[in-house]
Amino acid sequence: MLARVANNLFWMGRYIERSEHVARYLCVNYFSSLDAPNEFSQSRQFVLKSMLFMVGDPHKTEEELYDADVLYNIGLNPDKSYSIINCVKLARENANSARDIISTELYEAINKFYHFVLNYSVDDYVKKGLYDFTTNVMEFTAILKAKIRTTLLYDEVYSIIKLGINLDRATQVIRIINSKYNDILLIRNQDNTGMGSSLEWSTLLKCVESYDMMNRFQKKIPNSINTLDFLILNSNCPRSVINSLHEVTEHIQVLSSEKKPKKDSTIFLVHKIYNEYKYKYIEEIEVDFQTFIDKILNDLVAISKKMEKEYFNY
């Protein structure tokens, strides 16, 4: 496979995954705040700030935020690099330059997704279409991932896309956890309720589409320890960070023909990072959560950069 095309497919996978997580965060966070238990967590400013924090554009001033502006910026503003419309455009652009090697079915699904987002009325979206728009985005991404799984040969093309998907999934899940953790800290500072009510942890689980899985697994009210443990370290949870890292180790293997990886190779780095987190326990992480967040985000960036150097250098 061409190095340039591999790079494009990797990023196609990343942008597909990213658009899903951003859409879900918007949807779950916005609607759960409408009947949140206290005035602070119910306030528009609180929820809008949380959304901006998650996409990496934290609101740093005291200026009032407006629903329509924030929703537009995150959903359909083509000038914001983090917006869903931009993610979808970039996913399609990357697919375009690799359309000869992805399946017709996958390309057509991406194209439909692109036309759906591109033609969505901004006015409808900010006034009444948030649920419709975000759930459609989530459904489109589910279709795309099904097309990836069922219409591509399980070879290096498939693995490159899956590497993109899983690295971005781990990144987005960490960002969502970080964002909600930050929200919970803010709420705690307001009402001194300890590490947040179960509702905030439930919202976090829903933001990562893992609430039902957690219910089945724990059969306990979500709290900081069991929720973070589940979302970061539970290898049976398909959304967990450790699961995504495991997938990365599996797919990077497909790109390498060497039995014993060299010390400076991507495969070596991936295994090293995966094994480090595999043997962590949640109490260890919770002691200094912010350091953990920074470190794991840096680790994920390091893998991406290493891949770029080793495979996408053209």
Partner 1 sequence: MKSCKDHPIFSSYSGQQNKLDEVFDKNQKVKPVYQTLFDIYGAHSTNDFSILNEKAKTSFFNQGITFQVYGNNQTKEKIFPFDLFPRIIDSKEWEHIEKGVLQRSQALNHFLWDLYHDKKIIKQGIIPEVLINSSANFLKKMEGFNPPGGVYNHISGTDLIKHSDGKYYVLEDNIRCPSGVSYVICNRTALKRALFGVFDKYQIHSVTNYSQNLLEIIETVKPKGVDNPTSVVLTPGVFNSAYYEHSYLAKGMGVELVEGRDLFVEKDFVYMKTINGPRRVDIIYKRIDDAFIDPKAFRKDSVLGVPGLFRAYLKGNVCLVNAPGTGVADDKAVYTYMPEIIKYYLDEEPILNNVHTYHCSRPDDLKFVLENIHNLVIKPVDEAGGYGISIGNKLTTQEINKVKEVIKESPRKYIAQPIMSLSVHATYIEGEGSFEPRHVDLRTYTLLGKDKNFTLKGGLTRVALQKGNLIVNSSQGGGSKDTWVLKK
Binding site for partner 1 (CB under 8 A): 1-6, 93, 96-97, 99-101, 104, 107-108, 111-112, 115, 156, 160, 255, 257, 311-314
Residue nearer to partner 1 on the CB measure, 96 or 193 = 96
How many CB atoms within 10 Å of residue 69? 13
DSSP code of 159?
Answer: H
Residue nearer to partner 1 on the CB measure, 104 or 236 = 104
How many CB atoms within 10 Å of residue 270? 26
Distance from C-alpha of 286 to C-alpha of 307, rounded to nearest angstrom = 30
- CB of 137: closest distance to partner 1 in angstroms? 17
Residue nearer to partner 1 on the CB measure, 71 or 255 = 255
* Chain centroid to CA 158: 19
Distance from C-alpha of 43 to C-alpha of 8, rounded to nearest angstrom = 41
Q: Are 203 and 176 in contact (CB under 8 A)?
A: no
- CB of 15: closest distance to partner 1 in angstroms? 16
- CB of 223: closest distance to partner 1 in angstroms? 44
* Chain centroid to CA 24: 9
Residue nearer to partner 1 on the CB measure, 10 or 30 = 10
Residue nearer to partner 1 on the CB measure, 178 or 266 = 266
- CB of 132: closest distance to partner 1 in angstroms? 20
- CB of 149: closest distance to partner 1 in angstroms? 20
- CB of 61: closest distance to partner 1 in angstroms? 30
DSSP code per residue over 18-77: HHHHHHHHHHHHHHHHTT-SSHHHHSHHHHHHHHHHHTT----SSPPP-HHHHHHHHHT-
- CB of 24: closest distance to partner 1 in angstroms? 25
Residue with tokens 């390498």: 256
Distance from C-alpha of 293 to C-alpha of 136, rounded to nearest angstrom = 30
Residue nearer to partner 1 on the CB measure, 111 or 223 = 111
Enter the tokens of residue 77.
């503003």
Residue nearer to partner 1 on the CB measure, 213 or 307 = 307
Residue nearer to partner 1 on the CB measure, 3 or 68 = 3
Distance from C-alpha of 177 to C-alpha of 144, rounded to nearest angstrom = 25
Residues in the chain: 314
Query: Please, what is the end-to-end C-alpha distance for the chain in angstroms?
Result: 12
Burial class of residue 98 (count of CB atoms within 10 Å of its CB; 0-12, 13-18, 19+): buried
- CB of 18: closest distance to partner 1 in angstroms? 21
